[in-house]
Amino acid sequence: MAEEHIDYDREILRQRSLAENSLMEQLLGFMRTLSNPVSRLEELFDYLKTGDKDSLEKLHSYYEESKRRAESMKNSSLMYLARIGDVIPHNMTYQAIFIGITKLAQMLEGIAYRAKILSDNGSKITPTIEKLARELISTLNEGFEKLESATQFLTINPRRSLEEIHLINDIEDRVDKIYRTLTYKLYQEVKGDIVALMLLKDIIDMAENLADIIRDVGENIRILALFRTAR
């Protein structure tokens, strides 16, 4: 009986190892899928500045496809998590990460859609709004890069993952400061165009929400990293 018990434990550990490896591959693939869409976000302001409606239309289509791809990957990952059940610890943590990353893709598409409508409305952004918006997007990019790095280090150096997550929290604080300044300037400089004001406010609110989602996904990555360092 003792030998059977040992074999059973070994089989559980084997299944857990296989499941964790599969989930990490899915997670890294998810991050890579969104890396380019996040980095391209600043292009929206290039096209808004020049009034390039065709390029904004194409970019929005790109983000729609990115969102569909992310939602498909999320559904596949959640189905996999449902199949393996309690084989791995922190099943719910993985679920929260996959759902959070999908929200990033959905938010990016929402921003691109509003930028397209803004251009269709014939609205232009002022130099001050453009400068602050680009600073906001650049800081968001930095946060996502840290999130991607934290994910990559999970299997090889989870302590490094924890360091990257700590930096994400600092970046989120910077995003909040830029957001507050940008909101104030927005009400100052775009108050004469109510449609542009509403659309731009939506865009910067959603950009700020991106930072919150990155932080929340990072906190779930932290849980996985702490679990791995405690082994």
- Whole-model pTM: value is 0.90
CA distance 103 to 86: 25
CA distance 104 to 177: 21
CA distance 39 to 42: 7
pLDDT of residue 225: 94
If one counts every other C-beta atom within 10 angstroms of the C-beta of residue 109, the result is: 22
Q: 124-133 pLDDT, tens per residue?
A: 788 999 999 9
Residue 57's SS3 state is helix
| 109: Cβ contacts below 8 Å, ≥ 6 apart | 60, 63, 64, 66, 67
Domains of the chain: 2-229 (1.20.58.220)
What is the separation, in whole angstroms, between the first and last Cα of the chain?
28
What does the pLDDT profile of the chain (231 residues) look like in tens digits?
A: 444 444 556 766 667 777 888 899 999 999 999 999 999 999 999 998 888 999 999 999 999 999 999 999 999 999 999 988 877 888 899 999 999 999 999 999 999 999 999 999 888 788 999 999 999 999 999 999 999 999 999 989 999 999 999 999 999 999 999 999 999 999 999 888 899 999 999 999 999 999 999 999 999 999 999 988 876
pLDDT of residue 228: 86
Is the Cα dihedral 23, 84, 231, 170 positive or negative?
Answer: positive
Q: 40-56 pLDDT, tens per residue?
A: 999 999 998 888 999 99
CA distances to 86, 115, 178, 225 from 143, rounded to whole Å, are 32, 22, 14, 18
DSSP string, 142-201: HHHHHHHHHHHHTTT-HHHHHHHHHHHHHHHHHHHHHHHHHHHHHHHHSTT-HHHHHHHH
Is the Cα dihedral 63, 64, 68, 71 positive or negative?
Answer: positive
CA distance 76 to 195: 39
Structural contact between residues 172 and 212, judged by C-beta atoms closer than 8 angstroms: yes
